[in-house]
């Protein structure tokens, strides 16, 4: 067991998986010689060679399109999209092709494919290096969307994604890469896709969230604990499929739910989580469901005070939770 950053956990998992299964290939822009713009794939080309860790042309539709073909023909591609903001040229390939191939072929073909992409803001990335894009993909049957919150989860969920027979989008928060550290076992382990993790038990209210916002919610919960407010935190881990049972369990238990995400409010996962609770657990609620999310502006601005105004922070989470607790 070693203490690793979130980024190191991803890199070591990729290394372990590449050693385990020679069908796995990694490619994307700058992932080879340079080891990726964030260094996630550093050293992997040196160990596994240019045939398995490949610098691709700068063309996202080709990255995903060729990965689909390679997956159909027996490989297990793990392509990287350099920033989630640049995934849109590939959306035709992801949504129309990867997601629909099993269904449209009546099960004759499958696309075992893991698309890794750094996302999220608070890193001076401005409009096109800060976006949260998960809701676009969570809408699409045929895809799975995984967003780990800790180094431990980053490893177990990535190994599961690589083993999965269907296309998985695996989003890594850039601000988590080096700020989150934790113990990560050396041996391979799998965390099931579609199962949420009850991160903290509490009795006054539930915060349902995922990714970097889990650790922000934990910080908020510690503050609130000192004020006598007991917070439960549910880390969704995967936003498609959602762990409906875990969502309803925590809602029924505390009767007060705050859904938190950095992605824009309207059409975000918070809406889906809220609808599930409203449909199946309404009469357990003691207060209206509350959502705290990125505001409905097209993207995150650059200038520090503007960026800060956009970001969901531990303070904003604590403030929202106080209001909910008092309702």
Partner 1 sequence: MAGSDALYGLGLDAKKIETMYYYMVLSRALDERMWILNRQGKSAFVISCQGQEGAQIGVAAALDPAVDWVAPYYRDLGVVLYFGMTPRDIMLGQLAKAEDPSSGGRQMPAHYGSRAHHILTGSSPVATQVPHAAGIAWAFKLRHQEAVAMTSLGEGSTNQGEFHEGLNFAAVHKLPLLVVVENNGFAISVPQSKEMAIQDVAARAAGYGIPGIVVRGSDPLAVYQAAHEARRRALAGDGPTLIEIKTHRFTPHSSDDDDRSYRTREQLTAEKKDDAVHLFRHWMVEQQLWDDEREKALRQRIRGEVDDATDYAEAAPYPDPASFLGHVYHT
* C-alpha separations of 234 from 48, 52, 181, 250 in Å: 38, 37, 20, 8
Closest CA to 114 of 154, 74, 165: 165
Site stretch for partner 1 (CB under 8 A), options 126-134, 160-168, 179-187, 252-260: 160-168
What count of other Cβ atoms lies within 10 Å of the Cβ of residue 133? Answer: 22
The answer to whether residues 156 and 237 touch, using CB atoms and an 8 Å cutoff, is no
Closest contact distance (angstroms) between CB of 13 and partner 1 is 21
Active site (annotated) includes residue 129: yes
Q: Is the peptide bond before 44 cis (omega within 30 degrees of 0)?
A: no
Where b means 16+ CB within 10 Å and e means fewer, 73-105 reads eebbbbbbbbbbbbbeebbebbbebbbbbbeee
- Kindly state the smallest distance separating residue 69's Cβ from partner 1, in Å: 2
Smallest separation, CB 96 to partner 1 (Å) = 5
Out of 7, 9, 25, 239, which residue is the one contacting partner 1 (CB under 8 A)? 25
Over the window 64 to 93, marking each residue x when it contacts partner 1 by CB under 8 A and - when it does not, the resulting string is: xxxxxxxxxxxx-x-----------x--xx
Fill in the per-residue mask, 164 to 203: x = in contact with partner 1 (CB under 8 A), - = not in contact.
xxx-------------------------------------
Q: For the CB of residue 190, give the shortest distance to partner 1 in the complex, in Å.
A: 15
Residue 71 near residue 112 (C-beta atoms within 8 A): yes
Q: What are phi and psi of 33, to 5 degrees?
A: -55, -45
Rounded Cα gap, residues 276 and 278, in angstroms: 5
How many C-beta neighbours within 10 Å does residue 269 have? Answer: 27
Among 20, 21, 96, 308, indicate the residue that binds partner 1 (CB under 8 A): 96
Q: Is 326 in the site for partner 1 (CB under 8 A)?
A: no
- Minimum Å gap between C-beta 101 and partner 1 is 6
Q: What's the closest the beta carbon of residue 257 comes to partner 1, in angstroms?
A: 28
Instruction: Give Cα separations from 227 to 213, 236, 258, 313, 321 (angstroms).
Output: 21, 26, 18, 18, 11
Whole-number Å distance between alpha carbons of 292 and 265: 7
Structure tokens at 326: 């008092």
For residues 28 to 67, the per-residue mask of contacts with partner 1, x marking binding by CB under 8 A and - elsewhere, is -----------------------xx---xx-x-xx-xxxx
Would you say 13 or 56 has its CB closer to partner 1? 56
Identify which range of 39-47, 104-112, 127-135, 219-227 contacts partner 1 by CB under 8 A. Answer: 104-112
Nearer to partner 1, 56 or 209 (CB): 56
Q: How far is CA 218 from the centre of its chain?
A: 17
For residues 105 and 224, what is the distance between their CA atoms, to the nearest angstrom?
A: 52
Q: Does the footprint of partner 1 cover residue 101 (CB under 8 A)? A: yes
Residues from 128 through 147 that contact partner 1 (CB under 8 A): 141-142, 144
* Distance spanning both ends of the chain, measured CA to CA: 44
Query: Measured from the CB atom, is 112 or 268 closer to partner 1?
Result: 112
Number of chain positions touching partner 1 (CB under 8 A):
43
Considering beta carbons, is residue 89 or 267 the nearer one to partner 1? 89
For residues 102 and 219, which CB has a smaller minimum distance to partner 1 in the complex? 102
CB of 71 to partner 1, least distance (A): 7
Handedness of CA 292, 295, 301, 304 (dihedral sign): negative
> Any idea which residues carry the catalytic annotation?
129
Q: Could you list the residues that contact partner 1 (CB under 8 A)?
A: 25, 51-52, 56-57, 59, 61-62, 64-75, 77, 89, 92-93, 96-97, 100-110, 141-142, 144, 164-166
């Amino acid at each position: 067991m070693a203490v690793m950053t979130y980024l190191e956990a991803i890199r070591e998992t990729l290394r372990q998986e590449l050693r385990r299964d020679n069908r796995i290939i990694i490619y994307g822009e700058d992932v080879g010689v340079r080891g990726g713009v964030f260094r996630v794939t550093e050293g992997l080309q040196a160990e596994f060679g240019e045939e398995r860790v490949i610098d691709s042309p700068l063309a996202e539709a080709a990255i995903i399109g060729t990965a689909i073909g390679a997956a159909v023909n027996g490989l297990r591609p793990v392509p990287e999209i350099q920033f989630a903001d640049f995934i849109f040229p590939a959306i035709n390939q992801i949504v129309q092709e990867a997601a629909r191939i099993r269904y449209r072929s009546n099960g004759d073909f499958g696309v075992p494919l893991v698309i890794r992409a750094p996302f999220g803001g608070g890193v001076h990335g401005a409009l096109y290096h800060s976006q949260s894009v998960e809701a676009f993909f969570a809408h699409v049957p045929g895809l799975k969307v995984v967003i780990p919150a800790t180094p431990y989860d980053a490893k177990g969920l990535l190994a599961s994604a690589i083993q999965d027979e269907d296309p998985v989008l695996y989003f890594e928060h850039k601000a988590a890469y080096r700020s989150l550290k934790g113990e990560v076992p050396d041996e391979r382990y799998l965390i099931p896709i579609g199962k949420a993790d009850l991160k903290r038990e509490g009795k006054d209210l539930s915060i349902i969230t995922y990714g970097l916002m889990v650790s922000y919610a934990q910080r908020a919960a510690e503050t609130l604990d000192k004020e006598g407010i007991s917070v439960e935190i549910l880390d969704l881990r995967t936003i498609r499929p959602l762990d409906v049972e875990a969502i309803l369990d925590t809602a029924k238990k505390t009767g007060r739910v705050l859904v938190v995400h950095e992605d824009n409010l309207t059409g975000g996962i918070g809406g889906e989580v809220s609808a599930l609770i409203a449909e199946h657990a309404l009469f357990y609620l003691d207060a209206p469901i509350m959502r705290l999310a990125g505001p409905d502006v097209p993207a995150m601005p650059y200038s520090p005070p503007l960026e800060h105004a956009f970001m969901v922070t531990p303070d904003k989470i604590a403030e929202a939770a106080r209001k909910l607790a008092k309702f």
